[in-house]
Structure 1
C-alpha cells in the first residue's frame, strides 16, 4: 500500500485488497472511504468485500463512487456529507488515490 497523508485526519491510497484492511486498522485509521465505482477494472476487489472486512474490524465504511475524470458537483456534496460523518483519521482509496485527493480539495478542505 502506498499511503499519502493529506492531513493528519485524511489519507489516500490506490486500490486496496481485503488483506490490506487489517493493516489500515493497525495504522490507526478509524474509517475507510471508497471513491471508486465497483467493477471499474477487471480484477478489482469488490467494495462489499472490503466493507465487510472493515466493519468486522470495527472500522466505519463509506462508499462514494466517482467516475474517473468526471467529478460532479453532486459527487463533491456527497463526499463532503459522508466525510463529516466518519470518525477520523479517514483512509480513502480509488484507482490511484487521485480522485480521493481531488474530492478533498473540491470539498473545500485544502489548507
Structure 2
C-alpha cells in the first residue's frame, strides 16, 4: 500500500488489492473509496474482489468510478457525498492516486482554498497547479 495523506481524514493510493486489507486496517483507515472503473487496464483487480475483502476486514467501501479526464458534475457530487458519509479516515484509490487527488481538490477547493490544496497535494507528490488555477479563474 502506498497511502499518501492529503488531510487527517483523507488519503489516496494507487490501485489496492484484496491482499492489502490487513495493512489498510492496521494503518487506521475506516473506509475505502474506489475511483477506478473496472476494466481500465488489463489485470487490474476487480472492484467486487476488493470490496469483498474490505468488507470482510470491517471497512466500509464505496465505488465512484471516474473515467480518467472525464469528471462529470454528478461524479463530483457523488464523490463529495462519499467524503461526507463514509467513516474517516478514508483511503481512496485509482490507477495512480492522481484522479482521487484531483477529485478531492475539486470538491474541497471552496472550503480550503488554493494554497492549502496545493500544499497538501504537493506534499503527497501530486501537482494540482493547473486545476487550482482553473478553479481560481472561475
Say whether the fold is shared (TM-score over 0.5): yes
5+ residue gaps, structure 1, are none
Aligned residue for 1:50, secondary structure, equals: helix
The residue number in structure 2 matching 1:86 is 86
CA distances 1:31-59 after superposition (whole Å, capped 9, x unpaired): 00000001110100000001001101110
2:72 maps to 1:51: no
Aligned residue for 2:61, secondary structure, equals: strand
Mapped partners of 2:108, 2:11: distance in 1:
16
5+ residue gaps, structure 2, are 117-138
C-alpha RMSD of matched pairs (Å):
1.0
CA distances 1:5-46 after superposition (whole Å, capped 9, x unpaired): 000110000001111111101111000000000111010000
Aligned residue for 1:55, secondary structure, equals: helix
Mapped partners of 2:58, 2:16: distance in 1:
17
Aligned residue for 1:33, secondary structure, equals: strand
Mapped partners of 1:108, 1:6: distance in 2:
11
| Shift >3 Å, 4+ stretches | none
Greater per-residue helix proportion: 2
The residue number in structure 1 matching 2:71 is 71
Give the greater-gyration-radius structure (CA): 2
The residue number in structure 1 matching 2:121 is none
How many equivalent pairs are there? 111
TM-score by length of 1: 0.95
